[in-house]
Amino acid sequence: MNKKMIMAGLAARPVRTTVSILAVALEVTLILVVVGLTAGISYETGKRTEGVGADIMFQPPNSSLILAINNSTMPMALENKIKEIEGVKAVAPVQTLVNSSSGLEIIYGVDPQKFDAVTGGFIWHKGGYFKATDDIVVDDVYALAKKVTVGDQVEVLNHKFKVSGIIEHGKGARLFISQQTAQEMTGMVSRASMFYVKLNDPNQVTAVIERMEKVFPTYGLRPLKEYAKLMMSTSMPALDAFIETVVFVAICIGVLVIFLSMYTTITERTREIGILRSLGGSKRFIIGMIFQESAVICLIGIVIGVGSSFLIARLVQFVFPTLIVMITTDWILKASFFALVSGVIGSLYPSMKAAAQDPVEALAYE
């Protein structure tokens, strides 16, 4: 009977019910898409960084883990010093540039020979390394997304490049230019953003890092094995704070909408509440009814929210093929939980107010 009453109550006010459901759906979508986008970019970049094939990433002091983006602040001369460390096989200096004009693209400025020595070389789909300073190598995902092939012109960071080669994706960045061009574009001549280090024995990562720490005590030394995991938000305080903020804002939206919806519901239905009280409906019965009504709104909102998140993820990937929205079961459950919590908080006061109504006054309500 409760189910019938609740559904009839919701159906009797279709506009408000729809708006409330959409607000909960928005809450869930906001959480899933923002977290999915953050996690997707982080994880995918981490995977690509891991895919470089190096054993250690050498970064400037106080450098961030996020996307391995740093200004070119280290002198190139460090390359030789790193090479001198026992166990180091090869070192590849890299300049990183970020293009955010369409999605988020990381561009590596590399020395082909040194980069190949560390990575073992690219798998080439077409063409080869840059022959001129305005040549660019792109990965197959970028080529497919931008519909470019060898010989085509692409504009990156207000600079026109000619595609010299297309490689298999998964090694550091999607775009590669020569180190010299990168240094000229950043104005950081003879400097590098980071060094990829290849070891003679990959099992000696910890030992080599310990040796490096003695020589370069303030620098950032990170093992690249399981780098992708490190890139996930849970390991990154800055992203955690960002996600927490988004979740908080989303919960606030949910709480306020459910509150408003339930508050207006009980005001409109004061007389109905009076009738139920006159029939012997207890305070608990009234509270339960309001809670169940808000739970139904939340559950429908969650289903729509999860569905629309997957739809938006598809849309994002269609518009920005290089972006990945990672919607995980873990976050679907979390977002659903947050939506239900906002439903409970939002309907707490209205349900108490409804239950506390004097039956005589409620029945007299016009």
Partner 1 sequence: MKNLLETIDLRKTYKIGKIEVEALQGVNLRIREGELVAIMGPSGCGKSTLMHLLGAMARPSSGKVLIDGHEIAGMSDSELTEVRRNKIGFVFQKFNLLPTLTAGDNIAVARHIHGSGREHDQHLKEILQLLMIEDKMGRKPSELSGGEQQRVAIARSVANRPAILLADEPTGSLDTKNSEIVLNMFRELNRRFRQTIILVTHNPELVVYTDRLIEMRDGVIVSDNDPFSEDTESELAQPARSV
Q: Please report whether residue 8 would count as binding partner 1 according to CB under 8 A.
A: yes
Q: Please report whether residue 354 would count as binding partner 1 according to CB under 8 A.
A: no
Q: Please report whether residue 15 would count as binding partner 1 according to CB under 8 A.
A: no
C-beta of 262: minimal distance to partner 1 in Å? 16
> How far apart, in Å, are the Cα atoms of 273 and each of 5, 285, 291?
12, 10, 14
C-beta of 365: minimal distance to partner 1 in Å? 11
95 or 357, CB closer to partner 1?
A: 357
245 or 278, CB closer to partner 1?
A: 278
β-strand partners of 199: 88
Among 11, 14, 206, 318, binds partner 1 (CB under 8 A): 11
Stretch of 6-14, 57-65, 142-150, 203-211 lying at the interface with partner 1 (CB under 8 A): 6-14
62: left (phi over 0), alpha (psi -120 to 50) or beta: left
Instruction: Determine the size of the site formed for partner 1 (CB under 8 A).
Output: 25
Q: Please report whether residue 281 would count as binding partner 1 according to CB under 8 A.
A: yes
SS3 breakdown of the chain: % helix, strand, coil, rounded to 5? 60, 15, 25
Question: Encoding tokens for residue 366?
Answer: 């016009």
3-state secondary structure of 31: helix
> How far apart, in Å, are the Cα atoms of 313 and each of 33, 46, 67, 364?
7, 20, 21, 52
Q: Are 162 and 152 spatial neighbours (Cβ–Cβ below 8 Å)? A: yes
Among 276, 302, 325, 326, binds partner 1 (CB under 8 A): 276
C-beta of 14: minimal distance to partner 1 in Å? 12
Q: Please report whether residue 363 would count as binding partner 1 according to CB under 8 A.
A: yes
C-beta of 281: minimal distance to partner 1 in Å? 5
Question: Encoding tokens for residue 74?
Answer: 């280290």
C-beta of 278: minimal distance to partner 1 in Å? 5
Q: Are 146 and 105 spatial neighbours (Cβ–Cβ below 8 Å)? A: no
Stretch of 97-105, 227-235, 241-249, 275-283 lying at the interface with partner 1 (CB under 8 A): 275-283
Q: Please report whether residue 282 would count as binding partner 1 according to CB under 8 A.
A: yes
C-beta of 358: minimal distance to partner 1 in Å? 8
C-beta of 19: minimal distance to partner 1 in Å? 18
Q: Please report whether residue 12 would count as binding partner 1 according to CB under 8 A.
A: yes
Kindly write down the DSSP assignment for every residue of 2-19, as one continuous string: HHHHHHHHHHHSHHHHHH
Q: Which of 50, 53, 44 is nearest to 115 (CA)?
A: 53
Q: Which of 242, 234, 347 is nearest to 286 (CA)?
A: 347
Binding residues for partner 1, rule: CB under 8 A, are 1-2, 4-5, 8-9, 11-12, 271-272, 274-283, 285, 358-360, 363
